Amino acid sequence: MNEAAVKGGWLARLKAGLTRSSGKLGEGITGIFTKRRLDDAALEELEELLISADLGVATAAKLAAGLAGEKFDKEVAPDEVRQALAGQIAAILAPVARPLAVDPAHRPHVVLVVGVNGSGKTTTIGKLAKQHRDRGLKVRLAAGDTFRAAAIEQLQIWGERSGCPVLAKQPGADAAGLAYEALETARREGDDLLLIDTAGRLHNKAELMAELEKVVRVLKKLDPEAPHDCLLVLDATTGQNAHAQVETFKQLVQVSGLVVTKLDGSARGGVLVALAEKFGLPVHAVGVGEGIEDLHAFKAEDFARALVGVDE
């Protein structure tokens, strides 16, 4: 498939996935700005709309102020507002829109994947594995969420789908010991990428912190620089709760980047913009569906235009 077709396919899926978010924002903007000047009242309504779409208070204020700087006291059409907002949002997202880079200097490049249960963590690992294997890399998976039998089984299924070997043990096995064995095996087999799943039960944070610290500690015995990346998977449908999850996991591990899933499941796509503005962490991929092709590195401009409903 040529690049244009691939891009077109992904862009179509992105737009379709973000229809609930773009519908809410697009219709709201039309409601506010039909035959109306950009006055203080209109700006206040716009700010409230952006906050309701989970862009967050600070980001909403910044976007409204940017629009006021360009168009205040002028009559503006809804499409002008959408275009202006898309440009501002793309500028916020551009610095964080960075695909996951596998460093060939590390054999393997070790990626620890964290997130609460139900965020799409195990599925994300499977999709990333398939994508990198399709690029010709040797990829291995480690079922480090030993607490849940379902997570182990799910990762094994993704291993079969993606054609990648999975190191797994019985439920209840020591997660750190499994991670150590997985890295030993990956080094011996000359793998390029090792993706390690982890538990995500936050109701006992101290226990989870101790487990993750131990996993990191044993990996460093084999490679002082491992893990080379620590990806936090966030479910967009949780809206502003995603902020609290970033804060929590940053206390547990050195989060190096984000993957935002289930953007098709709610009208809360704006949360990704708020996260970019607040934390500045790389967003390596976004998910807009269940299929293996529905997780993709995203382009800031494409995402911004799809989010506010700008027609091509």
pLDDT in tens, 113-122: 999 988 999 9
The first and second tokens of residue 180, run together, are 């150590």
Amino acid symbol at 157: I
- Given a cut of 50, whether residue 2 has pLDDT beyond it is no
Average pLDDT across the chain, whole number: 92
10 Å CB burial of residue 160 (0-12, 13-18, 19+) is exposed
What's the pLDDT score for residue 4?
Answer: 40
Q: Taking the model in full, what pTM does it have?
A: 0.93
Residues 168-177: pLDDT tens digits? 999 999 999 9
Q: Are 46 and 67 in contact (CB under 8 A)?
A: yes
**Residue reference for tokens 């519908």:** 23
- Given a cut of 50, whether residue 14 has pLDDT beyond it is yes
| pLDDT more than 70, % of the chain | 97
The first and second tokens of residue 253, run together, are 């591990």
* Of 199, 256, 214, residue with least CA distance to 231: 256
**Residue reference for tokens 């880079």:** 101
* C-alpha to C-alpha distance for 203 and 196, rounded to whole angstroms: 21
What's the pLDDT score for residue 8?
Answer: 57
Name the pLDDT band for 294 (thresholds 50, 70, 90).
confident
Q: Are 207 and 252 in contact (CB under 8 A)?
A: no
* C-alpha to C-alpha distance for 63 and 227, rounded to whole angstroms: 37
* Of 152, 159, 196, 158, residue with least CA distance to 176: 196
Enumerate domains of the chain plus CATH numbers: 3-93 (1.20.120.140), 109-299 (3.40.50.300)
The per-residue DSSP string of 64-90 comes to HHHHHHHHTTSEE-HHHHHHHHHHHHH
Name the pLDDT band for 3 (thresholds 50, 70, 90).
very low
Contacts within 8 Å (CB) and 24+ apart, 17-21:
17/263, 17/264, 17/288, 17/289, 17/294, 18/263, 18/264, 18/269, 18/288, 18/303, 18/306, 18/307, 20/264, 20/266, 20/267, 20/269, 21/53, 21/263, 21/266, 21/267, 21/268, 21/269, 21/270, 21/307
